[in-house]
Chain A
């Protein structure tokens, strides 16, 4: 399913999508398998990073960065391959991007009053 494909007719809106999956079925299966393996490895990495931080082999900040990075990579892999965003992104990005921008903003705007100011007044 490429961007240059003819838009589907209202009578059969999913037909081109189905055809596309049929043509590239085998390569998709291989990609799914690779992504599945990567997700398992990433989960193990985050678990190991946490264990390493607990035993003071790495700092807790390094562990936090690794674990958060791994979570973002895992979510990206699931979104891109399992949710077919690698092919559908051009069609749905206008729905997803505002949410992805607003979601972190929702947290960030609360930080100055609830987290940062409090830490300045009463350091732990």
Chain B
């Protein structure tokens, strides 16, 4: 009788999987809801807005997004290979696959940093896009801005000597102001404005005749519209066309210091940085765990007992991959 009791299978409460896996899945479920909040906000804002920026308007390259997708898919593959290797007790191969995954994750972040840099360079940042609507008074304000800016550009470039004098005077003033900033008497913002103005004037000096001719064509168009009367002045279509003309000119010659309208660009930039930023932080978190695994391997302690750790890290990493699988088409394609 006692023997029969010993042979009985012990009762076990809970799921027939490890506690770690249950915990990881519970964590991933919270992550699903977290990213749904972000992605849902993007979808609702995008579909609830009258316009939305195209990838070209916000300096987003589709092939870069596709490259990062490829990198993450490769890294997901190497993680499952690492898990398969540790199950076979091959710690050397496990460390190799984890190293490759770490490198791929780092490549993803470097590409993302390159993309962010383009956004900072072109000031496609939340709250810093001054013209983000075609219709109504913002559209009218935009046309006035383009007219004034083009008139200024054409006036300055028609008198090279005067332009040189302005640049020289600004350079001298900047040196004085830099000393003032060192003594905390001038805000960084004021100095940044002066530097931006100097950069703009220096670019004007290098503007080719074709670009100036194009500036003149656009300016003539605005002046004609202004002569035509109120209906044309209030036309959203006209502002849209004007912005497209400016966009073509700026994409052809980046030295032309005129802004084009990025429709709902501030909302787009907020969504883009929050979604990709949190995703990048998750990638970074994964890389930290991979480094820990490699450190364990470096000390010669990596073994079959770590198979669960690698599997759970893999689960997390694949989830990060799945999030990117949805972010890529949402931000870059559709």
Contact = CB atoms under 8 A, between A and B. Distances in A.
A103 B329 contact: no
Contact of B48 (A7, A18, A115): A115
A18 B87 contact: yes
Contacts of A91: 15-17
B32 A103 contact: yes
Given A99-B32, A99-B33, A103-B33, A92 B25 contact: yes
A103 B36 contact: yes
B21 interface: yes
Given A25-B84, A32-B77, A50 B322 contact: no
Contacts of A40: 70, 73
Given A17-B18, A18-B307, A91-B15, A78 B25 contact: no
A78 B329 contact: no
B73 A9 contact: no
A96 B319 CA distance: 13
Given A6-B9, A78-B318, A36 B73 contact: yes
Nearest to A35: B77
A82 B321 CA distance: 11
A111 interface: yes
A32 B69 contact: no
Interface residues of A, number: 59
B36 A13 contact: no
B155 to A, nearest CB: 38
Contacts of B161: none
Given A43-B70, A75-B326, A124-B50, A96 B25 contact: yes
Given A14-B17, A21-B84, A71-B325, 19 more contacts: A7-B12, A13-B18, A25-B88, A36-B73, A40-B70, A47-B333, A68-B334, A82-B314, A83-B314, A83-B318, A83-B319, A92-B15, A92-B22, A95-B25, A99-B29, A102-B33, A106-B36, A107-B36, A107-B43
12 contacts: A14-B20, A21-B83, A47-B333, A67-B329, A78-B322, A82-B314, A88-B17, A91-B15, A92-B15, A92-B17, A114-B48, A118-B48
Interface of B: 9-10, 12, 15-22, 25-26, 29, 32-33, 36-37, 39-40, 43-44, 47-48, 50-51, 62-63, 66, 69-70, 73-74, 76-77, 79-81, 83-84, 87-88, 304, 307-308, 311, 314-315, 318-319, 321-322, 325-326, 328-329, 332-334
The 3 lowest CB-CB distance pairs between A and B, nearest first, are: A7-B16, A103-B36, A107-B40
